[in-house]
Amino acid sequence: MYRHTLRIMDDSSLSKVWLLVVCAVGLCLASTCALAAGDAGKGRSLYPVCTACHGAKGEGNAAMKAPKLAGQTGWYLKRQMELFQQGARGTAAGDMTGMQMAAMAKGPQLASDAALDDLVAYIGSFPETQQAPTIQGDAEAGATLYATCAACHGKRAEGNEAMAGPRLAGQSDWYLVAQLQKFRDGQRGYHNSDHGGRQMRAMSGTVATEAAMHNVVAYINSLTD
């Protein structure tokens, strides 16, 4: 008797689950699914404030120490905006450039998840550009060092979302070096909620010297993913 009741309950909860699934799919189709990427057209109106530092097409600006955004994956750009917004990046003592960027990320027009998706979709429409190398290093020695990095950043430094490791190929070399210094010095990857950053901070010990940083970045300069 008891068993019988249970079975009936199972059946009815199963059909409730199905009903939910059908509704969710229906809603998704009706409202271009919440999981879908943002609207680049809307994102365009959020970008002008970024131009002074990152360039009109996200090409970066060395004088402002602002990195290239073009060619970076959307999931990573969004994650960094969230970290800046949450105070998990750009709040460490002495991190002047991080603080500048954190102030920008906290603009009220970027306070929603949808706004970030739209902005990132617009950045995703920028053409990839080549960055002139500025770092001198021993790329061969860097290749050996890079073997440790590949697990999270990809063999060709193309990035690995499952490991939260960003694309490094195509990024300005001076920016990569500056970020390695920040991880080493505890100015990135210091916050409890920044799991990826904490992992990277642990890894930065393997390239702690200026020579090692320059060598591994010289190798990354040679990669085109």
Cα–Cα distance, 177 to 223 (Å, whole number): 16
By the rule CB under 6 A, 119 interacts with ligand HEC: yes
Site pattern 124..143 for ligand HEC (x: CB under 6 A): --------------------
Nearest to 78 by CA among 135, 122, 34: 122
Residues 186 to 225 in contact with ligand HEC, rule: CB under 6 A: 188, 194, 196-197, 199-200, 203, 206-207, 216
User: Which residue type is seen at 99?
Assistant: M
Is the C-alpha dihedral spanning 98, 100, 103, 109 positive or negative? negative
Distance CA 174, CA 109 (A): 30
Q: Residue 170 interacts with ligand HEC (CB under 6 A)?
A: no
Return the CA Rg of the chain: 22
| Shortest Cβ 33–ligand HEC spacing (Å) | 24
Under 8 Å CB-to-CB from 155, ≥6 apart: which residues?
A: none
Please say whether the beta carbons of 126 and 83 come within 8 A: no
Q: Is 116 in the site for ligand HEC (CB under 6 A)?
A: no
Between 200 and 223, name the residue whose CB sits nearer to ligand HEC.
Answer: 200
Smaller CB separation from ligand HEC, 23 or 56: 56
Q: Does the footprint of ligand HEC cover residue 166 (CB under 6 A)?
A: yes
**Beta carbon of residue 69, minimum distance to ligand HEC (angstroms, whole number):** 6
Among 77, 121, 169, 223, binds ligand HEC (CB under 6 A): 77
